[in-house]
């Protein structure tokens, strides 16, 4: 979120209050870790950076800064839940979808099933006119059942034109003389026999079962004994986008029963609970930045926030282990071992093993290189820094044969270490192999370059310092020459003895 602000809008912000409010708001939204998290003006006003950093009258400066941030597009605002205390969102696709859904459905959700949106009423008025013409009646009395049916079809993704076309098909045959006038319910089969052209998530997940239903909808079914209707589904999804799926499920458990499956008060209940939690948090000392980061890692790994006891242990241990890299590696390692237990993570943080920090191989080539390194270089161990470099090179050098050749070349040069292996792997194609570069043609030694005479002095060409590999190669050649001379001398002595 903050990266988007820096990339897209920071150059245009010339008001310091707007910049402060935008940064604090985006940071608080990031900490909530919800797809469409929201904050209130009171929550922003309680933050120390804004409470003490917006001048003498922070309330007025905060209101003006929020208006500028909304006008610029950094934040989104909606007063659908509470007109006196609007909620603010980051301007992301998820948040925009939630705000649009709230604006369209919240009034109907709070008023219950008896109320309907303007769109449903307008569509019903049009359908009523069609039925009047087809049935030959002066006025079609639209009922609450018709209104609920229209809202259900619109929630499934049917358009007014699709519903009107199906109604004309269903009422095409003239009704018999003396029979009652047909209603919108008589058109239901014609409407529902074909799927909508643009089915909604509600239709795909609940009606057609083409997608897995959201967890909130499953929770409603378990509590109410049935799947949610269209308006109920929209309300539940709006609540999950605003306050998170876990909070929505917990709220559903309190208000939904088999004999009373009413979600009209769901959003108001969640908003009230959030305000109560914020008030409680304001009274408590704020945790330091490291503790908040560790708590985020805990929630991401285990799916639930830590209890008060565990949060206290995290804060105490964070004072001793202040490196967040250690904490991140410990949680990642616990997940890889399928150990979703705080005690297991705590033991790792208190006594970290080197294996905890070794990254996983990125592909099969890296896996092969890890095994070869442990077998031939590390004697069973692998340094985390080396592992990261192997992963990086393995994404460019994917041929396992090249890695085997590099290990073989290092062994042949008596330089079986990662620096030499990396040099072989990353050497350009036209560059000579390091072992070949050390070889000098016979009769042309680097040390035997001719001397040059200048001003009566003999100046010899400077000799570059040889590398360890070159010196090793030179020692090997010298050993072979000495052995050859010894063999030749032994042969000459043997020949002399034979003659005598």
Structural domain contains residue 453: no
Q: Is the pLDDT of residue 130 over 60?
A: yes
Host domain of residue 420: 364-434
- Sequence-ordered list of residues with C-beta below 8 angstroms from that of 181, at least 6 positions apart, any chain: 131, 135, 137, 140, 175
Q: What beta strand segments (E) does 212-343 contain?
A: 256-257, 260-261
Question: Where is the domain boundary, 317, 339, 357?
Answer: 357
User: What's the average model confidence in pLDDT over 277-305?
Assistant: 71
Specify whether 408 is located in the same domain as 373: yes
Q: How many domains does the chain have?
A: 5
The C-alpha atoms of residue 312 and residue 316 are separated, in whole angstroms, by 6
Q: Which pLDDT does position 459 carry in this prediction?
A: 45
Specify whether 150 is located in the same domain as 246: yes
Measuring CA to CA, which residue among 124, 115, 95 is closest to residue 187?
124
Structural domain contains residue 96: no
Maximum separation of any 2 CA atoms in the chain, in Å: 147
Q: Which pLDDT does position 220 carry in this prediction?
A: 92
Specify whether 179 is located in the same domain as 200: yes
User: What's the average model confidence in pLDDT over 286-315?
Assistant: 79
- Quote the tokens at residue 38: 């929201």
Q: Choose the most confident range, by mean pLDDT, from 112-116, 157-161, 282-286.
A: 157-161
16-37 pLDDT per residue, tens: 888 888 888 888 888 776 667 7
419-448 pLDDT per residue, tens: 888 888 888 765 445 555 445 444 444 444
- Quote the tokens at residue 164: 């009107």
Specify whether 156 is located in the same domain as 200: yes
Q: Which helix (H) or strand (E) covers residue 459, if one does?
A: strand 457-459
Structural domain contains residue 350: yes
Q: Which pLDDT does position 296 carry in this prediction?
A: 85
Specify whether 74 is located in the same domain as 146: no
Q: Which pLDDT does position 283 carry in this prediction?
A: 56
Q: Which pLDDT does position 223 carry in this prediction?
A: 92
Structural domain contains residue 274: no
Specify whether 83 is located in the same domain as 172: no
Structural domain contains residue 97: no
- Quote the tokens at residue 304: 């639930």
Q: Is the pLDDT of residue 281 over 70?
A: no
199-226 pLDDT per residue, tens: 988 999 988 888 999 899 999 999 999 9
Specify whether 238 is located in the same domain as 133: yes
Q: Is the pLDDT of residue 476 over 60?
A: yes
312-361 pLDDT per residue, tens: 888 888 888 887 878 888 888 888 788 888 888 888 888 876 666 667 78
Specify whether 322 is located in the same domain as 403: no
Structural domain contains residue 165: yes
- Sequence-ordered list of residues with C-beta below 8 angstroms from that of 278, at least 6 positions apart, any chain: 40, 42, 43, 46
Least confident of 96-110, 262-276, 429-443: 429-443
Specify whether 351 is located in the same domain as 400: no
Q: Is the pLDDT of residue 298 over 50?
A: yes
Specify whether 221 is located in the same domain as 334: no
DSSP result, 27-56 = HHHHHH--TT-EEEHHHHHTSHHHHTTS-S
The C-alpha atoms of residue 448 and residue 280 are separated, in whole angstroms, by 85
Compute CA distances 214 → 57, 205, 226, 233, 262, whole Å.
Answer: 45, 8, 14, 10, 18
Specify whether 423 is located in the same domain as 476: no
Structural domain contains residue 302: yes
Compute CA distances 305 → 29, 38, 247, 292, whole Å.
Answer: 16, 18, 12, 11
The C-alpha atoms of residue 82 and residue 116 are separated, in whole angstroms, by 20
CB 267 within 8 A of CB 248: no
Structural domain contains residue 254: yes
Specify whether 38 is located in the same domain as 147: no
Q: Which residue has the higher pLDDT, 106 or 189?
A: 189
Least confident of 242-251, 271-280, 356-365: 271-280
User: What's the average model confidence in pLDDT over 116-140?
Assistant: 77
Band (pLDDT 50/70/90 cuts) for residue 172 is confident
* Distinct helix (H) and strand (E) counts, the chain: 25, 7
Q: Is the pLDDT of residue 451 over 60?
A: no
Please name every residue paired with 452 in a beta bridge, in sequence order, or none if there are none.
459
Q: Is the pLDDT of residue 462 over 50?
A: no
Band (pLDDT 50/70/90 cuts) for residue 287 is low
358-403 pLDDT per residue, tens: 677 888 888 888 888 888 887 666 777 788 788 889 888 888 888 8
CATH number, domain of 9, equals: 1.10.10.10
Q: Which pLDDT does position 13 carry in this prediction?
A: 85
């Amino acid at each position: 979120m903050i990266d988007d602000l820096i990339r897209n809008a920071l150059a245009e912000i010339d008001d310091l209050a707007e910049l402060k409010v935008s940064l604090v708001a985006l940071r608080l939204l990031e900490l909530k870790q919800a797809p469409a998290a929201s904050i209130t003006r009171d929550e922003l006003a309680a933050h120390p950076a804004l409470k003490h950093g917006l001048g003498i009258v922070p309330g007025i400066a905060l209101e003006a800064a929020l208006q500028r941030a909304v006008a610029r597009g950094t934040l989104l605002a909606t007063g659908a839940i509470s007109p006196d205390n609007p909620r603010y969102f980051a301007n992301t696709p998820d948040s925009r979808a939630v705000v649009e859904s709230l604006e369209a459905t919240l009034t109907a959700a709070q008023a219950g099933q008896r109320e309907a949106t303007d769109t449903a009423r307008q569509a019903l008025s049009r359908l009523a006119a069609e039925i009047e013409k087809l049935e030959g009646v002066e006025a079609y009395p639209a009922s609450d059942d018709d209104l609920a049916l229209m809202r259900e079809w619109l929630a499934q993704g049917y358009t007014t034109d699709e519903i009107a076309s199906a109604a004309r098909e269903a009422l095409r045959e003239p009704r018999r003389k003396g029979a009652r006038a047909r209603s919108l319910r008589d058109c239901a089969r014609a409407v529902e026999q074909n799927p909508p052209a643009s089915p909604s998530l509600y239709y795909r997940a609940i009606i057609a079962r083409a997608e897995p239903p959201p967890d909130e909808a499953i929770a409603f079914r378990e509590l109410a004994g049935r799947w949610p209707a269209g308006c109920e589904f929209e309300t539940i999804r709006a609540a999950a986008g605003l306050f998170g799926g876990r909070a929505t499920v917990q709220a559903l458990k309190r208000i939904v029963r088999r004999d009373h499956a009413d979600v009209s008060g769901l959003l108001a209940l969640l908003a009230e609970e959030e305000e109560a939690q914020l008030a409680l948090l304001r009274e408590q000392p704020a945790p330091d930045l490291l503790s908040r980061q560790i708590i985020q890692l805990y929630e991401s790994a285990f799916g639930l926030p830590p209890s008060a006891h565990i949060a206290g242990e995290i804060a105490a241990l964070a004072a001793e282990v202040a490196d967040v890299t250690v904490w991140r590696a410990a949680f990642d390692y616990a997940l890889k071992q399928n150990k979703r237990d705080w005690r297991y993570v705590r033991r790792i943080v208190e006594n970290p093993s080197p294996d905890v920090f070794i990254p996983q191989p990125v592909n099969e080539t890296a896996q092969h290189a890890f095994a070869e390194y442990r077998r031939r270089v590390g004697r069973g161990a692998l340094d985390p820094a080396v592992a990261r470099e192997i992963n990086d090179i393995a994404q460019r050098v994917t041929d396992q044969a090249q890695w085997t050749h590099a290990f073989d070349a290092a062994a042949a040069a008596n330089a079986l270490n990662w620096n030499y292996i990396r040099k072989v792997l990353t050497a350009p194609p036209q560059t000579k192999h390091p072992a070949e570069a050390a070889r000098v043609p016979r009769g042309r030694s680097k040390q035997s370059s001719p001397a040059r005479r200048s001003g009566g002095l003999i100046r010899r060409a400077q000799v570059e310092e040889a590398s360890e590999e070159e010196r090793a190669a030179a020692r090997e050649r010298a050993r072979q020459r000495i052995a050859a001379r010894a063999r030749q001398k032994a042969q000459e002595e043997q020949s002399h003895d034979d003659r005598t």
